[in-house]
Amino acid sequence: MPPGDGRVIFHIALERDWNAANQDGTYRISTRDATLEEVGFIHASFAHQVAGVGSLFYRDVGEPLIVLTIDTDRLEVPVVVEPADGGGEAFPHIYGPLPTSAVIAVRRATVTDDGRFLVDGVDGVDAP
């Protein structure tokens, strides 16, 4: 998915990492406990994938989580939709730093005791 095609994608982040990014204007965390430099891209999701990713990878996080809504029109680096490791479902990957100016919304997220990923109190980002 090249920049400029009007797509919106999402990234789950630790609130502290997002706050740090706001200090210099660039977010460089690929995924939980791994940087852009270590992985080579920033993991992202389409709306229907956010709840599953959150439940699977952030269930045991004991600190505040957020979901970043990213306007790909505001990116100056490629976004490539690729299958997850081992094949299967494809996810958007951001191949470069994420400028904080490309984030058009920041929403609080939690994982319930039964493993549901809630964004602003509802299941996933595309719930009514």
pLDDT in tens, 79-115: 999 998 767 889 999 999 999 999 999 999 999 989 8
Query: Where is mean pLDDT largest: 6-10, 22-26, 83-87?
Result: 22-26
Beta strand 8-14 pairing with 65-71: antiparallel
| pTM of structure | 0.90
What pLDDT was estimated at residue 126?
66
Residue 54, in any domain of the structure: yes
What range defines the domain where residue 27 resides? 8-123
Q: Show the CA angle centred on residue 64, arms to residues 20 and 55, nearest 5°.
A: 120
- Which CATH number fits the domain that encloses residue 102? 3.20.170.20
Residue 40 lies inside a defined structural domain of this protein: yes
Window from 25-29, 84-88, 114-118 with minimum mean pLDDT? 84-88
Nearest Cα to Cα of residue 107 among 64, 71, 74, 52: 64
Interval 23-42 mean pLDDT: 95
